[in-house]
Amino acid sequence: MARITAGVGCSHVPALGVAVDLGKTGEDYWKPIFDGFEWTKAWEQEARPDVVILVYNDHASAFDMKLIPTFAIGCGEAYAPADEGWGPRKVPVVEGHPDLAWHIAQSLILDEFDMTIINEMDVDHGLTVPLSMMFGQPEAWPCKVIPLAVNVVTYPPPTGNRCWALGEAIGRAVASFPEDLNVQIWGTGGMSHQLQGPRAGLINAAWDGRFLDGLVGDSDALRRIPHIEYLRETGSEGIEMVMWLIMRGALGKATRMLHRHYHVPASNTAVGHIVLEPT
Amino acid sequence: MTTEDPERQDIHDYLADLEDIPGTRVYTAKRARQGYQLNQFAMSLMKPENRERWKADEHAYLDEWKLTDDQKQALLARDYNRLLDLGGNIYFLAKVFSTDGLSFVQAVSTMTGMSVADYQAMMVAGGRSADGLRSIRANALAAAAKETH
């Protein structure tokens, strides 16, 4: 049977991808961030997931304003890096896992989550930056990836409670897949940041710390944080953290923390990172 | 952290709260409708051939889109706060400043009234505090309370 063996939370700041691609990760500004991922890179080499379910948001790359799916799952064979306005990142094509993805999609719909299904799309920094942070610069990504795109751009995004419940349903779906697969789920985006208006540059390290604390153990209090709290406390783009709750929900009743890292800033953003195991 | 009943969110209270954050334009349905053409215009700059046409003649390229005069003026002036007020979304507007060769930090700092250097220094020092920037209503109440003292 397939099983979810670990969850990872990780910011997906585009500048991190640029730092990797231009070989700047050893520079004073970037080094403290990348140092915090060294543990995880080594751990991933041991963990060797077959598939990563990668929860992220598209940043006006694959989806424009014509179609705004709240939850969309990638069931395609492969996804090319998107051209976000300065040419596509020179990173490997992302290989999908259509068998597991379609199984999850069907299971979720029967479990009353009305998913949008994606067969073809390009993937932007929201998806490729976490892969770079966890796997470095390989010739090919070492695992298959199932993209799970969440609308956190046009209001309202899904509630934290709904995200958590979707994660729980993903956990059930994976557990009912007959093939023996080692599956991880990653929640990406955040942590505190605001990219717009006179209030841009907002960071709230204390709040972010409490959020990271709340992912560990058997509490599900985080699922009840209202959108307005993310906005007031963590900046307008801090709302991306609802995507971490899909990851947390999929890990089941309780978690144990393997690694945690936090650094301010990466350009406009607080970089947070956590590795969890279900217990 | 605060919690609330997740069962039912009153939509009017929800939308009113989104307008209560100082210096912030949350991308609500109202703004998404107002800025539909503006954001789709920005999206068109994802294609290299469109970027070239835009760079060659911005006025002519803008005239192909059903934009208001205000939106066109704000685009030509790269007035990003104004563009947010006219329905622009930052991830779409990013196509415009990326085409100009600006990073997020460079473009975002223009909305804060700070120089890029000052803005970057603020970020390196830990970023902007949320204190005093959580709620327009709360700030007004605090100011009123101060006056009565």
Model's pTM, two decimal places? Answer: 0.96
Confidence at residue A85, expressed as pLDDT on a 0 to 100 scale: 76
Write down how long chain A is.
Answer: 279
Give yes or no for residue A237 having a pLDDT over 60. Answer: yes
Q: In sequence order, what are the residues at sequence separation of 6 or more whose Cβ sits closer than 8 angstroms to the Cβ of residue B10?
A: none
Q: For chain A, which residues make up each domain, given as ranges?
A: 3-278
Q: Is B105 helix (H, G, I), strand (E, B) or coil?
A: helix
- The amino acid present at B54, given as its one-letter code, is W
The answer, for B22 touching chain A at a CB cutoff of 8 Å, is: yes
CB contact under 8 A, B29 and A86: no
For A268, the closest of B42, B95, B108 (CB atoms) is B108
- C-alpha distances out from residue B118 to A116, A161, A196, A198, A272, Å: 43, 39, 17, 14, 24
How far is the C-alpha of A25 from the C-alpha of A96, rounded, in Å?
A: 28
DSSP characters for B18-81?
HT-STT-----HHHHHHTHHHHHHHHHTTSHHHHHHHHH-HHHHHTTS---HHHHHHHHHT-HH
Give yes or no for residue A207 having a pLDDT over 80. Answer: yes
Give yes or no for residue A252 having a pLDDT over 90. Answer: yes
DSSP-derived pairing of the beta strands A78-79 and A182-188: unpaired
DSSP characters for A150-180?
E--SSSSPPPHHHHHHHHHHHHHHHHT--S-
How far is the C-alpha of B60 from the C-alpha of A133, rounded, in Å?
A: 42
Q: Cβ–Cβ contacts within 10 Å for residue B11, how many?
A: 9
Shortest CA gap A46–chain B (Å)? 34
Burial of B36 (0-12, 13-18, 19+ CB in 10 A): middle
Confidence at residue B9, expressed as pLDDT on a 0 to 100 scale: 87
The active-site residue, picked from A97, A103, A125, A263, is: A125
The answer, for B25 touching chain A at a CB cutoff of 8 Å, is: yes
Radius of gyration of chain B (CA): 19
Mean pLDDT calculated for residue range A62-91: 94
CB contact under 8 A, B135 and A210: no
Mean pLDDT calculated for residue range A89-105: 98
Mean pLDDT calculated for residue range A252-272: 98
Question: Where is A232: in which H helix or E strand?
Answer: helix A227-234
CB contact under 8 A, A224 and B29: no
CB contact under 8 A, B18 and A231: yes
A256 falls in which pLDDT band (50, 70, 90)? very high
CB contact under 8 A, B104 and A15: yes
Confidence at residue B5, expressed as pLDDT on a 0 to 100 scale: 58
- The domains of chain B, with CATH numbers, are 11-148 (1.10.700.10)
Give yes or no for residue A3 having a pLDDT over 60. Answer: yes
Confidence at residue B90, expressed as pLDDT on a 0 to 100 scale: 96
How far is the C-alpha of B146 from the C-alpha of A119, rounded, in Å?
A: 59
* Average pLDDT taken over every residue of chain A: 97
Partners of A268 on chain B (C-beta within 8 Å) are 104-105, 108, 123
Fold of A3-278: Protocatechuate 4,5-dioxygenase; Chain B (3.40.830)
The answer, for A195 touching chain B at a CB cutoff of 8 Å, is: yes
Confidence at residue B7, expressed as pLDDT on a 0 to 100 scale: 65
ipTM surpassing 0.85: yes
The answer, for A80 touching chain B at a CB cutoff of 8 Å, is: no
A86 falls in which pLDDT band (50, 70, 90)? confident
The active-site residue, picked from A193, A261, A263, A273, is: A193
Mutate to test the interface with B, among A59, A61, A65 (most CBs of B within 10 A): A65
Confidence at residue B1, expressed as pLDDT on a 0 to 100 scale: 59
Share of chain A above pLDDT 90, in %: 98
Q: For residue A265, is the peptide bond before it cis, meaning its omega torsion is within 30 degrees of 0?
A: yes
Least confident of A75-89, A112-126, A130-144, A199-213: A75-89
Confidence at residue B149, expressed as pLDDT on a 0 to 100 scale: 73
- Give average pLDDT by consecutive 10-residue segment, chain B, 149 residues: 67 98 98 98 94 97 98 98 98 94 94 97 98 97 89
Shortest CA gap B15–chain A (Å)? 9
